[in-house]
C-alpha cells in the first residue's frame, strides 16, 4: 500500500508527523535513547516530518534530534524538520513573546547549532507578540527565508484573520493548532481558511492528550505531568467524565478492530487533505498505533458512528487553564 502524504509549502511529507515535545519530559520522564528509538521507528515507517521547538526542554528536544541526525547522516535529506521561536523571558524572568527579526534569527541560529543542520524546512513563530503587527512578524520570517535559514514559514495558534494578514505578506506554509475529536474549535474558520490559502493545518494533540487512546492518563500518572495537572480537562470531576465519554470511543475502535489512537488519527486525516497530525509519544508501540491510523480509510458510515459516540462539544472543561491561554489567539 502506498504511504499517504501531505504537502507543506512545496514539500511532500508523510501524512503524520512526530511531535517532539515528548522528547523533553513534557508528558513524563524520558531519555535520549528513547527519543532515538522513536526516530528510528519513524525512519523505518516512512514518517519524515519532525516538529520541535527551542523551548521544548530548553533545547533538549532539538539536541536529541541533532544527536540522532549525527548518528544517521543519511537521514537529514529525508527528514522535514520544523522548529519554532518567539517565546522567551524578560528582564524580570517573566514569560513573554518576541517576534522581531533579531530575536527570531538569534534563536533559530541556536536551534540550527543544536540540531547540527544548516537550515530547517519550516520555521514557526511559536506565539504572536500581540503589540507587534503580524505583517512585521511575517517580514521577519521572510527575511530568514531569504537568508537560507528556513525554507518555509508558519505560525502557531493564530486566528484565521491573522493568517490572512500574514499570508498577504508572504506565503504561510503551515499553521499549527490543537485539533482533534476532543478539540473542534478550529472548524470555526481555521480549517476552512487554511484550505482556501493552501496552508497546511498541523494538528497538535491529535489524540486529546491520551483521552482518545486505549490508555488514557490516570490520576496517578498526572503526578509527573505538571501541564496536565493544571489543565481543566484533567482535573476532577472533568477527568472522570471525559474518560467515561471516551470509553464509548474505545469500544467503537475495538469493534472496528483498531487501536483507539489509530481511529483518532484516521478521523483527523479525513477532515481534509491539508490536515497533518503531529502526535507525540515516548512509546514505540504507541507510535506504531498512531502510524497505523494514517493507513485507515474511513467510510461515511464510520464517520457517522464516531460522531454518534463523540458529538461536537462532548469534552468537559476548557482546553487550557487561564495561564495556559496566555499567547494563543482566541477567535471563537
56 is catalytic: yes
pLDDT of residue 2: 58
Mean pLDDT of the chain: 96
Q: What is the mean pLDDT of residues 160-179?
A: 98
Cα 102 to Cα 126: distance, rounded to the nearest angstrom:
15
CB 49 within 8 A of CB 85: no
User: What is the set of domains in the chain, with CATH numbers?
Assistant: 5-210+259-298 (3.20.20.100)
DSSP class of residue 108?
H
Interval 164-171 mean pLDDT: 98
With a pLDDT cut of 70, the percent of the chain lying above it is 99
Highest mean pLDDT among 3-7, 144-148, 319-323: 144-148
Q: 130-164 in b/e burial notation, b at 16+ Cβ within 10 A?
A: eeebbeebbebbbebbeeebbbbbbbbbbbbebbe
| Distances, alpha carbon 321 to alpha carbons 89, 152, 328, 329, in Å | 20, 31, 12, 14
* Pairing, β 200-204 against β 275-277: parallel
Q: Is the pLDDT of residue 1 over 70?
A: no
Report helix, strand or coil for 175: strand
Query: Is residue 177 very low, low, confident or very high in pLDDT (cuts 50, 70, 90)?
Result: very high
What is the torsion angle, in degrees rounded to the nearest 10, for the CA atoms of residue 94, residue 100, residue 105 and residue 108? 50
Which residue among the candidates 27, 36, 56, 320 is catalytic per the annotation?
56
Mean pLDDT of 272-298: 96
Strands 174-178 and 275-277: unpaired
Do 186 and 276 form a contact (C-beta atoms < 8 A)? Answer: no
List pLDDT tens digits, range 223-279.
888 889 999 999 999 999 999 999 999 999 999 999 999 999 999 999 999 999 999
CA distance 101 to 243: 44
pLDDT (average), residues 118-144: 98
Mean pLDDT for the stretch of residues 288-294: 97
Amino acid at each position: 500500500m502506498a504511504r499517504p502524504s501531505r504537502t507543506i509549502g512545496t514539500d511532500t511529507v508523510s501524512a503524520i508527523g512526530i511531535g517532539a515535545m515528548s522528547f523533553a519530559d513534557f508528558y513524563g520522564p524520558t531519555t535520549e535513547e528513547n527519543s532515538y528509538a522513536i526516530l528510528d521507528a519513524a525512519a523505518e515507517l516512512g514518517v519524515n516530518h519532525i516538529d520541535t521547538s527551542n523551548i521544548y526542554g530548553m533545547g533538549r528536544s532539538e539536541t536529541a534530534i541533532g544527536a540522532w541526525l549525527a548518528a544517521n547522516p543519511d537521514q537529514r535529506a529525508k527528514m522535514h524538520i520544523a522548529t519554532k521561536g518567539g517565546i522567551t523571558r524578560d528582564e524580570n524572568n517573566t514569560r513573554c513573546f518576541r517576534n522581531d527579526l533579531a530575536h527570531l534569527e538569534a534563536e533559530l541560529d541556536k536551534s540550527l547549532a543544536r540540531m547540527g543542520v544548516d537550515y530547517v524546512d519550516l520555521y514557526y513563530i511559536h506565539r504572536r507578540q500581540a503589540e507587534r503587527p503580524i505583517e512585521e512578524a511575517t517580514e521577519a520570517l521572510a527575511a530568514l527565508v531569504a537568508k537560507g535559514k528556513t525554507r518555509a514559514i508558519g505560525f502557531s495558534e493564530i486566528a484565521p484573520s491573522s493568517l490572512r494578514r500574514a499570508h498577504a505578506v508572504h506565503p504561510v506554509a503551515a499553521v499549527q493548532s490543537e485539533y482533534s475529536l476532543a478539540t473542534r474549535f478550529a472548524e470555526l474558520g481555521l480549517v476552512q481558511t487554511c484550505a482556501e490559502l493552501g496552508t497546511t493545518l498541523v494538528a497538535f494533540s491529535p489524540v486529546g492528550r491520551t483521552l482518545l487512546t486505549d490508555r488514557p492518563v490516570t490520576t496517578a500518572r498526572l503526578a509527573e505531568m505538571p501541564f496536565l495537572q493544571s489543565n481543566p480537562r484533567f482535573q476532577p470531576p472533568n477527568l472522570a467524565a471525559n474518560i467515561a465519554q471516551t470509553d464509548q470511543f474505545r469500544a467503537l475502535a475495538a469493534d472496528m478492530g483498531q487501536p483507539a489512537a489509530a481511529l483518532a488519527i484516521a478521523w483527523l486525516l479525513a477532515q481534509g487533505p491539508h490536515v497533518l497530525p503531529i502526535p507525540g509519544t515516548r512509546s514505540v508501540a504507541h507510535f506504531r498505533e498512531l502510524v497505523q491510523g494514517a493507513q485507515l480509510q474511513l467510510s461515511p458510515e464510520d464517520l457517522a458512528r464516531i460522531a454518534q459516540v463523540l458529538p461536537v462539544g462532548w469534552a468537559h472543561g476548557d482546553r487550557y487553564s487561564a495561564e495556559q491561554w496566555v499567547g494563543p489567539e482566541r477567535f471563537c
